[in-house]
Structure 1
Amino acid sequence: MRALVLALVLLPGAALAGGLGAARTLPAGSVIGPADLRVIETDRPGLTDPSQVIGMQTRITVYEGRPLHANMLQAPRLVGRNQIVRLSFQRGALRIDTEGRALSDGAAGALIRVMNMGSRSTVTAQVMPDGSLAVIK
């Protein structure tokens, strides 16, 4: 045990490992691109595969040179709170399209509450990859 502590004190670079870090300060809500990443040496292990990071959105501000961790990232939001969205209901051959107001943020595949602008009723809808919403029934 004593030898391990001495090794860590005398050889500070021994515990460092490579990981992905921010190449610049990334404000919360930024979608990460390849130019936003760089390989850094860190003692706090984080993400190492760029394919896990590129296209994701930051949940918090990530400062330049800091390692990236999975809990700092989220799928990009396609729908913002209070945004007017296209709301669709489909059952068999029947299809109804109307406008709605999103009551929360949502990424592709997320279930969110939406207020139908015509009837003022609240429904649950799934965010589609194109940013539209499909009513769940």
Structure 2
Amino acid sequence: MRVLVLALALLPGAAVAGGLGAARTLPAGSIIAAADLTVIDTDRPGLTDPSAAIGLQTRITVYEGRPLHANMLQPPRLITRNQIVRLAFHRGALRIETEGRALSDGAAGELIRVMNMAARSTVTAQVMPDGTLAVTP
């Protein structure tokens, strides 16, 4: 058994490399800050640059000491499903605003479906960086 471990350690591809891991358990939906990251020794590929993770939201629970991968992270969700939102439609000098109910989660720049509460119809709207929704024609 010792010979096998020593042989694996001497293989050129078996070197341990540093990567980013969770400094504490991060529940799904957590926004990552610098204090949430730590450098870990791992042979698994993952994120190595903290700027690639800071400010993003976890898709799943990431347990303390586990390496971070890009597929575990997503842009922060500004809109949540069933949230009452302000819908705005602009065309030239015309501006119409009404309330709507988000039918899915959405991050800045994403297109989501929204139910117009006044007309009871569904429209597609783009999530703006300030959390409002702009109806697309």
Q: TM-score, normalised by structure 2?
A: 0.91
Q: What is the rounded CA distance, in whole Å, between the counterparts of 1:71 and 1:15 in structure 2?
A: 24
Per the TM alignment, residue 15 of structure 1 is displaced from its structure 2 partner at its CA by: 1.6
Q: What is the rounded CA distance, in whole Å, between the counterparts of 2:58 and 2:8 in structure 1?
A: 33
Per the TM alignment, residue 8 of structure 1 is displaced from its structure 2 partner at its CA by: 1.8
State the AA in 1 paired with 2:27. P
Q: What is the rounded CA distance, in whole Å, between the counterparts of 1:10 and 1:106 in structure 2?
A: 48
Q: What is the rounded CA distance, in whole Å, between the counterparts of 1:116 and 1:135 in structure 2?
A: 10
1:72 aligned residue: 72
Per the TM alignment, residue 7 of structure 1 is displaced from its structure 2 partner at its CA by: 3.6
Q: TM-score, normalised by structure 1?
A: 0.91
Q: What is the rounded CA distance, in whole Å, between the counterparts of 1:59 and 1:115 in structure 2?
A: 25
1:93 aligned residue: 93
Number of corresponding residues = 131
1:34 aligned residue: 34
Residue correspondence of structure 1 range 16-55 to structure 2 within 5 A:
16-55=16-55
State the AA in 2 paired with 1:80. T
Per the TM alignment, residue 10 of structure 1 is displaced from its structure 2 partner at its CA by: 5.5
Query: CA RMSD, aligned part only?
Result: 1.5
Q: Does the CA contact (< 8 Å) of 1:109 and 1:129 recur in 2?
A: yes
Residue correspondence of structure 1 range 124-135 to structure 2 within 5 A:
124-135=124-135
Q: What is the rounded CA distance, in whole Å, between the counterparts of 1:127 and 1:76 in structure 2?
A: 12
Q: Does the CA contact (< 8 Å) of 2:103 and 2:114 recur in 1?
A: yes
State the AA in 2 paired with 1:96. I
Q: Does the CA contact (< 8 Å) of 2:9 and 2:15 recur in 1?
A: no
Specify every segment of 5 or more residues in structure 1 that has no aligned partner in the other structure, as ranges.
none
Per the TM alignment, residue 45 of structure 1 is displaced from its structure 2 partner at its CA by: 1.4
Per-residue CA distance 1:12-50 (angstroms, 9 max, x = gap): xx5210110000000111110011000111010110111
Specify every segment of 5 or more residues in structure 2 that has no aligned partner in the other structure, as ranges.
none
Q: Does the CA contact (< 8 Å) of 1:8 and 1:15 recur in 2?
A: no
Per-residue CA distance 1:71-104 (angstroms, 9 max, x = gap): 0000000000000001000001101111100000
Q: What is the rounded CA distance, in whole Å, between the counterparts of 2:7 and 2:72 in structure 1?
A: 32
Per the TM alignment, residue 9 of structure 1 is displaced from its structure 2 partner at its CA by: 4.3
Q: Percent identity?
A: 83
Q: Which 4+ residue blocks in structure 1 deviate beyond 2 angstroms?
A: none
